[in-house]
Structure 1
Amino acid sequence: MKSKFGISKNVDFAKAVTEALGGVSNPIGLVYICPYEMIESVGNELTNRFPGVPVLGTGGICYYNDTIDDKHLQIMAVTGGAKMTAGVIKHIRRAPLSEIYTLEKSVQEVGAGADNTICLEFCPYNEEVATSTLNVVLEKHKISLIGGSIFDVPEGKDPLVFVNGQVYKDTLGYMMIKNTEGKVHMFKENIYAPTDNPVHIATKVDLNKRELCCLDGRPAAQVYSEETGVPVNQVCDNVFVNPFGRVVGDEVYIASMKEPGTNGGLINYKKIYENDAISILSVLDYREVAEETKRNIRSKVSNPSCMISFNCCFRYLFFNSENYTIEYLKNMATVAPNFGYIAGGEQYLNQHVNQTMVCAVFD
């Protein structure tokens, strides 16, 4: 797949679009990230310049290789070797299944294949329901899901997506991307792992609040405190060091603590279900983890053309506190040109996760 990436610091949206496009005149599809107040104007400008070309955009913190910020426009323009179509799943807070026919139509439009197509999405909230809804179609066609929860929304404002000439709220926006020149390879990076301590069982939860009430029949915060030595009233402050992990076979899906709940419960950014196996994770040598990720990608993708990635905002904040963010992004950019988004949570295959990096690497 052929693509071109650009950034503009111009505050005039039309000039910013011209600069970020860098001379691209015949794109197959466009994905952009920009400041919140520019979402609609940038989207309209792209739609007007390239009628019929699928466009997907949102606001927040974006990076290309080691250039990262939330104040400027960044565009990924796919220019060859791909088929693309964009769409929306509305009513994401209430009844998204009513919109699922649009996703099936998109699959048919690109002629999606099992190992050459991804569904890239930006989701405002209700991620577990959104992931399950999308996979009603995607799993049937063996299409991989990758996406991020919209992050860095101004206080009092709604998360927005722009798709094909219109800005939406309460809506998931997606882009179906088929690589016609090779495969698309999926990867996930965790910098946390279970310790030698016993795995716990979630015995009481409140799914509506995303609250883990009890582990092994006892208040979750108390169990966490006893295992880590962190005082009960400081558990949520320890999320960068020891988040929760939902253990499913050999996989671990991270759930970040958000705030204290009631009676010793803990409200999280990911739903934990009753009878889930839960481990309290510990942080690994993140530099070595990044090297292993690079080795893994290179062993499976001999000639990558580009990478689309999502990094959790908590990883971003943790790496900032360790003065590691730019080093990490430079390191990953040695694998392939890397266009990415700092997300409030990540969607990967059939899971919504926290504190994770997920990426799609294109031949």
Structure 2
Amino acid sequence: MAVAERNVGDSEKSEVHVPTPVISRTRQHTAVASADSHRPDPVAAVAELADALGTRAGLYAVFVTPGYDLPLVGRELKRHFGDRVIGCTSSGNIGPRGYDSAGLCAVAFTGGLRARTVTVGPLDDAPGAVERAAPELADLRSEVGDGEGFAILLTDGLTRNEDLLAANLMAALGDVPIVGGSAGDNLTFEHTAVYHDGEFLPNLASVTVVRTDVPFRLIRLQHHEPTSTLLIATDVDPDRRVVRALNGRPAAQAYAEAVGTRVADLNFSVYSRHPLLLNAGGSAWIRAIAAANADGTLSMFARVDVGDVLRVGRPTGLLDHLEQQFAALEADLGPIGGMLAFDCVLRRLETEEHQVADQVGGFLAERGVVGFSTYGEQFNGMHMNQTLVAVAFA
């Protein structure tokens, strides 16, 4: 087991990138502690987390890799932490050791924050699920009031409804910024689940609104930039995330030619280097390709609609970009006291392919980053891929 603890102190804070003046001289502190366990027995593993983190924190977030008896893990989380825990299944964790492909990982927040969670589902009809939860979401929004807060979204990663879910939740929560990730199962694509009241349940999302006086930033980091090569989605099945045609031609063929290769040579490495980027709200959002299908279509990890103008992306260097962005964050926020992060599993696979996983994982661990490898990321009203989104505390 590894344990890390960091203190969050005072400085100016903003949500997303908008500075907010300091209005109080009272010094606020939040302890951000993390721990992991690799014990195979779920009872022993959760007990080890509880021993390391205590059971009195205001909020716990727990991420579980495949192989554990989820009913037992859920029961033990409820027994040790009561109703102050959120979590989901993962495709690997980010913890005190950096990237970690196995075990349980947890982060505990104590002092200086208040949190409340609402579940949304079933997600077969994401807009309807959000509408049914509207009264509870309105209560969450009212608790933030005119103060500073943010929402953590954890959602089933196999429903293929994160795009609609994020957009509808943003409308329901108004100006409360959202950050989160889609539960994973280590790329088996068989069973993902979100924790709720002692159980891990599929087809569900949890929304946790955190009210805090402690300085924080919501961040979004991606190391791909759009090129001038345009591909327009002309025939799609958006609900299944399948693109049939780009620029009026079979999607796989059009994409392969755009990146300078043959359809037969399309693979994860090509998709990783050259994802498709959608411009919306003045920013580029990655739509990662999952597979080229035998019928010439492309399966995607995010929704694409007819008429979407997509640009072929190119990488700028994951580790270099990470270092630059963290330097900019620390220049703005001060030394990072802790960070809850949702990092696309495709990014971790890319670090493994280029043999820099230990370097990147170590870099994240040194800066108190805790979280999990996701099947997709949410930032405000958008769902995306191949991105790291996080809430960082000063």
Which TM-score applies when normalising by structure 1? 0.89
Gaps of 5+ in 2: 1-29
User: 2:148·2:212 contact (CA, 8 Å) conserved in 1?
Assistant: no
Match of 2:236 among 205, 213, 216: 205
User: 1:64·1:338 contact (CA, 8 Å) conserved in 2?
Assistant: yes
Assess, with a 3 A threshold, how the Cα gap between structure 1 residues 294 and 137 changes in structure 2: closer, same or farther.
same
Assess, with a 3 A threshold, how the Cα gap between structure 1 residues 245 and 155 changes in structure 2: closer, same or farther.
closer
For the pair 1:224 / 2:258, whether they are aligned, the reply is no
CA distance in 2, matches of 1:270, 1:191: 18
Q: Counterpart of 2:134?
A: 100
Assess, with a 3 A threshold, how the Cα gap between structure 1 residues 2 and 231 changes in structure 2: closer, same or farther.
same
The offset of 1:143, in angstroms, is 1.2
> Secondary structure of the residue that 1:129 maps to in structure 2?
helix
Q: Counterpart of 2:61?
A: 31
Runs of 4+ in 1 over 4 A off after TM superposition: 112-115, 153-157
User: 2:64·2:88 contact (CA, 8 Å) conserved in 1?
Assistant: yes
The offset of 1:41, in angstroms, is 2.1
The offset of 1:114, in angstroms, is 6.3
Match of 1:128 among 159, 163, 184: 163
For the pair 1:214 / 2:245, whether they are aligned, the reply is yes
Q: Counterpart of 1:296?
A: 328
User: 2:33·2:107 contact (CA, 8 Å) conserved in 1?
Assistant: yes
Match of 2:152 among 108, 112, 119: 119
For the pair 1:159 / 2:192, whether they are aligned, the reply is yes
CA distance in 1, matches of 2:53, 2:315: 44
The offset of 1:115, in angstroms, is 4.2
> Secondary structure of the residue that 1:199 maps to in structure 2?
strand
Match of 1:323 among 351, 355, 368: 355
Match of 2:211 among 178, 200, 209: 178
> Secondary structure of the residue that 1:76 maps to in structure 2?
strand
User: 2:236·2:244 contact (CA, 8 Å) conserved in 1?
Assistant: yes
User: 1:28·1:79 contact (CA, 8 Å) conserved in 2?
Assistant: yes
Assess, with a 3 A threshold, how the Cα gap between structure 1 residues 245 and 18 changes in structure 2: closer, same or farther.
same
For the pair 1:341 / 2:341, whether they are aligned, the reply is no
Deviations 1:205-239 (A, max 9, x none): 22122122222222222222222221023334411
Q: Counterpart of 2:20?
A: none
> Secondary structure of the residue that 1:293 maps to in structure 2?
helix
CA distance in 2, matches of 1:249, 1:30: 33
Assess, with a 3 A threshold, how the Cα gap between structure 1 residues 185 and 49 changes in structure 2: closer, same or farther.
same
User: 2:150·2:178 contact (CA, 8 Å) conserved in 1?
Assistant: no
CA distance in 2, matches of 1:360, 1:17: 25
Assess, with a 3 A threshold, how the Cα gap between structure 1 residues 18 and 73 changes in structure 2: closer, same or farther.
same
CA distance in 2, matches of 1:348, 1:231: 34
Letter in 2 for 1:220: A
CA distance in 2, matches of 1:303, 1:113: 27
CA distance in 1, matches of 2:240, 2:94: 32
CA distance in 1, matches of 2:53, 2:291: 47
User: 1:119·1:143 contact (CA, 8 Å) conserved in 2?
Assistant: no
Letter in 2 for 1:288: D
Supply the RMSD in Å over aligned alpha carbons. 2.3
The offset of 1:113, in angstroms, is 5.2
Q: What is the percent sequence identity of the aligned residues?
A: 20
CA distance in 2, matches of 1:272, 1:47: 39
The offset of 1:242, in angstroms, is 1.0
The offset of 1:84, in angstroms, is 0.8
Match of 1:278 among 310, 314, 329: 310
Deviations 1:249-307 (A, max 9, x none): 64111111122357533121111122222111112122321122112211221143210
CA distance in 1, matches of 2:65, 2:257: 43
Q: Counterpart of 1:7?
A: 36
CA distance in 1, matches of 2:44, 2:229: 57
User: Alignment length, in residue pairs?
Assistant: 356
> Secondary structure of the residue that 1:40 maps to in structure 2?
helix
Letter in 1 for 2:181: G
User: 1:86·1:163 contact (CA, 8 Å) conserved in 2?
Assistant: no
Q: Counterpart of 2:21?
A: none
Q: Counterpart of 1:73?
A: 104
Letter in 2 for 1:264: G
> Secondary structure of the residue that 2:133 maps to in structure 1?
helix
CA distance in 2, matches of 1:113, 1:77: 26
User: 1:248·1:277 contact (CA, 8 Å) conserved in 2?
Assistant: no
> Secondary structure of the residue that 1:239 maps to in structure 2?
helix
Letter in 2 for 1:99: A
> Secondary structure of the residue that 1:158 maps to in structure 2?
coil
Assess, with a 3 A threshold, how the Cα gap between structure 1 residues 120 and 210 changes in structure 2: closer, same or farther.
closer
The offset of 1:47, in angstroms, is 2.0
